[in-house]
Structure formats: C-alpha cells, structure tokens
Amino acid sequence: MKGFALLSGLVFTIVGLGALGLEVYFWFDDGHYAVRSFGHLWNLACPDSLVAAKSLMMEGRIGDVAPWLWDPLITFLLRVPASASLLPGLFLLYRFNRQRGAKRIFGPKK
C-alpha cells in the first residue's frame, strides 16, 4: 500500500510540475498567464486522439467502460487544471514518506 501511494504521489507530482512548467513556458511565450486543463494539454499533444477516444467511448468500444461516463466524469476530469495534480501528489509523498520516522507534526506518537 505504501509503495503504491508513493508511486502515485510521484506520478501526480511529476505531472503537476510538468504542467506548471508548461504554463510558465506559455506565459513567457504568449505574454499572459493562463491555467491549462488536462483536456487542453491533451489537445496540444495529440488532438486527434482526444476526438477518437470520445467517439470510441460513446460507441462502447473501449472495454467495460460505460459510455454514459463521458459527460459527467471524464469531461469534468479534462477540465481540471493540470497543475492541480501537484497538490495530491505532494500530499501522498509527504503522508507516506518512509524517511519521516520520529519527526511528527503534532507531537510524539503515543
């Protein structure tokens, strides 16, 4: 469990830092700062795959994934700012850090 949490935290942190780096890059490139969502970054990377994924999912050709999940869930996840994944990543890395040992925030463990 700890290993999976640390790996997930590392992945979330890397994705968040990469997204933040892209936002800063676009800020210097365009001259104005804009928060980029996961959907926007996916569209920048490969626009055809985003349209293909939606059409395949709506037709029910992606395994056991229900087509009705696209609008409420996946659309929401694609609109979340990509740099926001930094927060759960840092939390998971802090919470499941093996090096923390006796150093506790709220005093010694009883």
Contact 83, 19 (CB under 8 A): yes
Residue spans of the domains in the chain: they are 1-33+83-105, 37-80
| Burial (Cβ within 10 Å: 0-12, 13-18, ≥19) of residue 100 | exposed
Q: What is the pLDDT of residue 110?
A: 53
Q: What is the pLDDT of residues 40-69, one digit of tens each?
A: 999 988 989 988 888 888 887 877 778 888
Report phi then psi at 38, rounded to 5. Answer: -60, -40
Q: What is the pLDDT of residue 97?
A: 81
Q: What is the pLDDT of residue 4?
A: 92
List of the chain residues with pLDDT < 50: 102
pTM (two decimals): 0.73
Q: What is the pLDDT of residue 102?
A: 46
Q: What is the C-alpha to C-alpha distance for residues 29 and 36, in angstroms, rounded to an integer?
A: 14
86 to each of 9, 15, 34, 41, 57, how far by Cα in Å? 9, 7, 17, 15, 28
Q: What is the pLDDT of residue 107?
A: 54
